[in-house]
Amino acid sequence: MPDSYFSSLSNLFPTSAVQSIASQFGASERTVLSGLQSSIAAVVSGLAQKSNDKGFIGQIVQLATSTPENAATAALSHDALTNPNSSSFSGANQLLSGVFGGKLGSITEALSSQTGLRSTAISTLLSLGGTTVLSLLGNKFRDGSLNAGSLPAFLQKESAALQGHLPVGFTTGPAAVTTHKVDVNPVIAQAVQVEKSRSFLPWLLGLLVAALLLGYWWFRSRPEPVAVATPAPVVAPVPPKITSSNGVDLGSLVDVKLCDGSVIRVPERGMEAKVVTFIEDPAHKPDKTSWVDFDRLLFDTDSATLQPQSTDQLNNFAATLKACPDVHLTVGGYTDNTGDAAHNQKLSQDRANSVVAQLETMGIASNRLVAKGYGDHNPVGDNSTEEGRALNRRISVLVTAK
């Protein structure tokens, strides 16, 4: 990838990471690197083809600035290779859906044919490539070398430099119509001078030539048969599914309209959609029991430190609160019953504080948020099983005013 900001894949993915990906897909390291290059090139090309849409560019800036510098390597460390819909790839999958829409399936197949990798492997590499692009763009936004105004020209330049890694004729826009020009050679009439002859043979030859010419004219004057092409069946691509941090299927990404008319793109059965439904429904009054759990937040073990993949959901939730300025809420932290109760109480409070602090850095006024730790109280799962304990380790919100 000459003259491309996205060319140094060797610097982005250590050898051990490439070896791990190759082992997972049963492919060579060279094939995996080729698949990554093609996936990144496809994402950049798709972004470039939509770079005239100012609203879309604004969404990309928001996604990129919320993507940590180490997002790609962090995703690999969380076994996201086995699940392209992992929460580690939520930002990238949101990007891919916005860039490719219903063409994602056909683009995946095109890259699969080019690289020789299975389509399932390409789906994962597209998610990884999307994460990489967002991470690198985020770095440039943060260091001031790129902004929303200069992004379109940057994407156009990068897309041109990366075309060599894409299938011939690759496009994410409407299919181009190719016109085939058919050259018809004219019939060259050659004047034949027939010498006058009284012999029978020249007359017979002339009659034969005339018959041949008449037959040729009749053959050429017939209408050509028209071939009727049977259109191939159109197979609708399956939209990507998003899973919670506990592996629950949250459905496909959908557009959810907020109080001020703005739109966020979130999982159809995700926490953000549930909170918006509660806020917008006049029949739902604030009470003390209508808690809604975050479903894509992750903390470091026994710590209040949020992991990078939590940023996507927090961004969506902050956008919701900005669009609905009358909403106030309590953020509740909970743990399972493993270990000392006093330690669990403090950990739950620290985690609730951490979420509130993060929302405040995203522009939400502190007087709208209350953090409260409940320790191992109010379990929603069976603490005697690992699955139940995982459900009990959660952050929830309660709308107290709207």
Domain ranges of the chain: 9-165, 250-401
DSSP assignment string, 389-401:
HHHHSEEEEEEEE
Residue range 354-401, pLDDT digits in tens: 999 999 999 999 999 999 999 999 999 999 999 999 999 999 999 999
Please tell me the distance from the alpha carbon of residue 372 to that of residue 386, in angstroms, as a whole number.
25
DSSP state, residue 257: E
The yes-or-no verdict on residue 113 having pLDDT over 80 is yes
Which residue do the tokens 């180490």 mark? 70
Residue 22: band (very low, low, confident or very high) from pLDDT cuts 50, 70, 90: confident
The pLDDT score that the predictor gives to residue 187 is 40
The pLDDT score that the predictor gives to residue 303 is 95
Pick the CATH number of 250-401 from 3.30.1330.60, 2.60.34.10, 3.30.420.10, 4.10.1240.10: 3.30.1330.60
Task: Note whether 24 and 75 are within 8 A (CB).
Answer: no
Q: Which of 51-60, 98-107, 186-195, 270-279 has the lowest mean pLDDT?
A: 186-195
**Count of other CB atoms within 10 angstroms of residue 186:** 5
Task: Note whether 367 and 327 are within 8 A (CB).
Answer: no
Integer angstrom CA distances of residue 303 from 48, 298, 346, 369, 392? 40, 10, 10, 21, 15
Instruction: Indicate the average pLDDT of the chain.
Output: 81
Please tell me the distance from the alpha carbon of residue 144 to that of residue 209, in angstroms, as a whole number.
83
β 291-293/394-401 pair status: antiparallel
Integer angstrom CA distances of residue 17 from 12, 267, 367? 10, 29, 44
The pLDDT score that the predictor gives to residue 370 is 98
Residue range 47-75, pLDDT digits in tens: 888 888 887 888 888 888 888 877 777 76
The pLDDT score that the predictor gives to residue 102 is 73
The pLDDT score that the predictor gives to residue 126 is 80
Sign of the torsion formed by the C-alpha atoms of 358, 369, 272 and 292: positive
The yes-or-no verdict on residue 38 having pLDDT over 70 is yes
% pLDDT > 70, the chain: 75
The pLDDT score that the predictor gives to residue 193 is 42
β 249-257/241-243 pair status: antiparallel
**Better-predicted residue by pLDDT, 199 or 208:** 208
pTM across the whole model: 0.46
The pLDDT score that the predictor gives to residue 296 is 95
Provide the terminal-to-terminal Cα distance of the chain, rounded to the nearest Å. 52
Please tell me the distance from the alpha carbon of residue 319 to that of residue 204, in angstroms, as a whole number.
94
The pLDDT score that the predictor gives to residue 366 is 96
The yes-or-no verdict on residue 164 having pLDDT over 60 is yes
**Better-predicted residue by pLDDT, 272 or 44:** 272
The pLDDT score that the predictor gives to residue 87 is 66
Residue range 214-243, pLDDT digits in tens: 666 665 555 555 555 566 565 555 556 788
What are 244's two structure tokens? 């919670």
The pLDDT score that the predictor gives to residue 217 is 61
Mean pLDDT within 176-180: 36
The yes-or-no verdict on residue 283 having pLDDT over 70 is yes
The pLDDT score that the predictor gives to residue 204 is 63
Sheet containing 249-257, strands listed edge to edge, beginning at the edge strand earlier in sequence: 241-243, 249-257, 263-267
**Better-predicted residue by pLDDT, 125 or 377:** 377
The pLDDT score that the predictor gives to residue 8 is 58
Task: Note whether 152 and 57 are within 8 A (CB).
Answer: yes
Residue range 284-312, pLDDT digits in tens: 999 999 999 999 999 999 999 999 889 99
**Better-predicted residue by pLDDT, 89 or 47:** 47
Please tell me the distance from the alpha carbon of residue 323 to that of residue 236, in angstroms, as a whole number.
34
Please tell me the distance from the alpha carbon of residue 194 to that of residue 294, in angstroms, as a whole number.
98
The pLDDT score that the predictor gives to residue 175 is 43
Residue range 182-200, pLDDT digits in tens: 343 444 334 334 444 444 5
